[in-house]
Amino acid sequence: MKINRFWSWLALFFGILYFALPLIGTLEFSLRMRRGEYSLDAYRVVLGDPRFQATFSYSVAMAVATIIVGVLLVVPTAYWVQLKLRRWRPIIEFITLLPLVIPPIVIVFGYIRLYNTSSFLPLTGSAWGTNLLLMFGYVVLALPYMYRAVDTGLRAIDVRTLTEAAESLGAGWLTIMTRVILPNVLVAVLSGAFLTFAIVIGEFVLAALLNRPAFGPYLQLVGANRAYEPAALAVIAFSITWVCMGLIQLVTRFQKHTFAKR
Amino acid sequence: MADTTTAATALGASGRQRMTFAWLGILPFMLFALLFLLLPTLNIVIGAFQTRTGEFTLQNIFNLFQPSILSAYWISIRISLASAFLGCLIGFLIAASVVLGGLPAWIRAPLLTFSGVASNFAGVPLAFAFLATLGRLGLVTVLLREWFGVNIYAMGFNLLSFWGLTITYLFFQIPLMILIVTPALDGLKREWREAASILGASSFQYWRMVALPILWPTLLGTLALLFANSFGAVATAYALTGSSLSIVPILLFAQIRGDVLQDPHLGYALAFGMIVVTGIANGLYIWMRTRSERWIK
């Protein structure tokens, strides 16, 4: 009744081949800049490029802002829905899943139309306003992952009892949120945060169409004009995604550990 | 949106005292969703049904039915279908090999972690990776030529084509499938297999009459999700092909950058068409999901 072990190995082998080859190919290509020998020249050129440093730090700042705003928005909402507005859950869940249905390019198209210089909220009129708009756009893109992570975390604890216990000890709303709820869902929040970071750091469409100097458009620009540097950038981007996923694994394992102790 | 707000007020007015202000707690979220998700989308949808002067019209939708735009939709749908179908099939085979195929247990955790990474490794860097692998000077292209004397470009392969894009998309489609289908495969209870076996079912009969019917909603639902996933993807295709391959998201991207269609409202109609296609795909996904959750407990 089991699948033949030989076929299993074969399927796995081809899977590994398909996923390893592009990674090996990229790595190999990124080392080929100097003719006839392998060197790290492409990385040196990329890391030394002032535009790389500028766009990369812009995207990192954007990702951090997105995570902070996302957490401030999602955690209290998910908590409140869990505590008081259970019948609203399907509606909220539906809204948080919408960014998977509506392609990002459509959402940003709407931004450009809705928040142009002659509108009620002319966000695209200034660099500051456009940055804000881009950040909110990223919060929207991260919403499905962030909300799901936090909601799962909240379902695992007894929100009502914890809240009542804190209230009976005289805690205010701020204390309950920061000292009772947040520590309990910290692992979920962190998982959502790292995933958000991985999404925002290389995002292209929103940044390009809102004309902001982010890492994604820079990647595209380098790709269109250079030969070996894009491969080096791809290796760097892949490493960043890998680190983010590794950190998610790490915090999740950390949580299992503390649960096991109790 | 206006409906939900009035509904909340009505709820508070009619019901218990405690409910009256409870909805205030999600007001920031609702305001955010309204301003940065719902209104922008609604704006595009309305724009698709308006003339330049703001009157109602269906002309923009009719204008979509011109050969260049129809062919863009057609190739987009074909690439999305192909990458979704192959992604489902290959992802399923790999997941089934690892979960049920008697491979050592330690393979599982690295496979799932890698799938998490690869399913998020989309966008511009993915295009670079495939250019460095299957481009004209890419590793695989060169090795095939030098070792086996096979020149895939002379055989008509091109990375900037239907198959090139499909192969590239599979890099994030297969891992997504593995991530979704592994829990479903875990949900197949051993008792079912044993019961089937006691009743004399062959391996093939077990799969055809027990396992696949149970997995069917998950498989079809994931197919829909993968479809929407690649249909909306812009960055990879744009970095790979520039604007030489005319798929819908690229066409829309070029339109937003600099009115290539000579008519902004046609752009809204194009975007509306994308929402309709991904909406249908995701509607199927949600419907299938609710059906499959009845079994996987």
Question: Along chain A (262 residues), what's the average pLDDT of each consecutive run of 10 residues?
Answer: 71 87 88 82 87 92 94 91 85 87 90 83 82 94 89 86 89 86 86 88 90 90 85 88 84 64 43
User: Looking at beta carbons, which residues of chain B come within 8 Å of A121?
Assistant: 35
Query: What count of CB pairs under 8 Å joins A to B?
Result: 257
Query: Structural domain tally of chain B?
Result: 2
User: In percent, how much of chain B has pLDDT > 70?
Assistant: 90
Decide if B43 touches A, using CB distance below 8 A: yes
In sequence order, the β-bridge partners of residue B56 are B50
Supply A51's token pair.
């535009």
3-state helix, strand and coil shares in percent for chain A, rounded to the nearest 5: 80, 0, 20
User: Looking at beta carbons, which residues of chain A come within 8 Å of B282?
Assistant: 97, 100-101
In sequence order, the β-bridge partners of residue B50 are B56
In angstroms, rounded to a whole number, what is the distance separating the alpha carbons of residues A228 and A211? 25
A161 Cβ neighbours under 8 A, 6+ residues apart: none
Strand spans (E) along A88-205:
none
Supply the CATH classification number for the domain A50-261. Answer: 1.10.3720.10
Among all residues of chain A, which has the CA nearest to that of B40? A110
DSSP code per residue over chain B: -HHHHHHHHHHHHHS-GGGTTGGGGGHHHHHHHIIIIIHHHHHHHHHHTB-TTS-B-SHHHHHT-SHHHHHHHHHHHHHHHHHHHHHHHHHHHHHHHHHHS---GGGHHHHHHHHHHHHT--SHHHHHHHHHHHSTT-HHHHHHHHHH---TTTTT--SSSHHHHHHHHHHHHHHHHHHHHHHHHHTS-HHHHHHHHHTT--HHHHIIIIIHHHHHHHHHHHHHHHHHHHHS--HHHHHHHTTSS--HHHHHHHHHHH-TTS-HHHHHHHHHHHHHHHHHHHHHHHHHHHHHTTT--
Interface of B with A in 209-228 (CB under 8 A): 225, 228
Closest approach of chain A CAs to the CA of B67, in angstroms? 22
In angstroms, rounded to a whole number, what is the distance separating the alpha carbons of residues B170 and B119? 9
Q: With bands split at pLDDT 50, 70 and 90, how would you rate the model's confidence at B133?
A: confident
CB contact under 8 A, B235 and A114: no
In angstroms, rounded to a whole number, what is the distance separating the alpha carbons of residues B167 and B134? 10
Tell me which residue in A21, A73, A88 faces B133 most closely, judged by beta carbons: A21
Closest approach of chain B CAs to the CA of A95, in angstroms? 7
B117 and B7 in a common domain: no
Mean pLDDT on B35-46: 91
CATH classification at residue B256 = 1.10.3720.10
Tell me which residue in A22, A95, A241 faces B130 most closely, judged by beta carbons: A22
Best CA proximity match to A137, nearest among A85, A94, A99, A190: A99
- Which pTM does this prediction carry? 0.85
Condensed to tens digits (0 to 9), the pLDDT of residues B265-281 reads 888 899 999 999 888 88
Q: With bands split at pLDDT 50, 70 and 90, how would you rate the model's confidence at B242?
A: confident
Is B147 inside any structural domain? yes
Is B55 inside any structural domain? no
Is B56 inside any structural domain? no
Inter-residue contact B284 to B220 (CB < 8 Å): yes
Please classify residue B147 by burial: count the beta carbons closer than 10 Å to its beta carbon, then call 0-12 exposed, 13-18 middle and 19+ buried: exposed
Tell me which residue in B33, B139, B231 faces A95 most closely, judged by beta carbons: B33
Condensed to tens digits (0 to 9), the pLDDT of residues B152-167 reads 887 777 888 888 889 9
pLDDT of amino acid B2:
44
CB contact under 8 A, A28 and B228: no
Decide if B97 touches A, using CB distance below 8 A: yes
pLDDT of amino acid B214:
82
In angstroms, rounded to a whole number, what is the distance separating the alpha carbons of residues B173 and A49? 33
Interface of B with A in 252-281 (CB under 8 A): 252-253, 256-257, 267-268, 271, 274-275, 278-279
Decide if A253 touches B, using CB distance below 8 A: no
pLDDT of amino acid B63:
82
User: Looking at beta carbons, which residues of chain A come within 8 Å of B253?
Assistant: 105, 205, 208-209
Q: Is the pLDDT reported for residue B189 higher than 90? A: no
B151 and B7 in a common domain: no
Inter-residue contact B231 to B274 (CB < 8 Å): yes
Q: Which amino acid is at B144?
A: L
Is B163 inside any structural domain? yes
Is B57 inside any structural domain? no
What is the extent of the structural domain holding B22? 2-48
Q: Which amino acid is at A67?
A: I
CB contact under 8 A, B129 and A216: no
B10 and B98 in a common domain: no
Tell me which residue in A98, A113, A139 faces B44 most closely, judged by beta carbons: A113
B162 and B280 in a common domain: yes
Is B252 inside any structural domain? yes
In angstroms, rounded to a whole number, what is the distance separating the alpha carbons of residues A99 and B241? 25
Mean pLDDT on B40-58: 86
B123 and B247 in a common domain: yes
pLDDT of amino acid A206:
92
CB contact under 8 A, A220 and B238: yes
B174 and B28 in a common domain: no
B194 and B76 in a common domain: yes
pLDDT of amino acid A202:
84
- Terminal Cα-to-Cα distance of chain A (whole angstroms): 41
For testing contact with chain A, the best of B73, B97, B248 (most A CBs within 10 A): B97
Is B60 inside any structural domain? no
Among all residues of chain B, which has the CA nearest to that of A104? B232
Ranked by mean pLDDT, which of A25-39, A47-61, B1-15, B112-126 comes out on top?
A47-61
Decide if A18 touches B, using CB distance below 8 A: yes
Interface of A with B in 56-115 (CB under 8 A): 73-74, 76-77, 80-81, 84-85, 88, 91-92, 95, 97-114
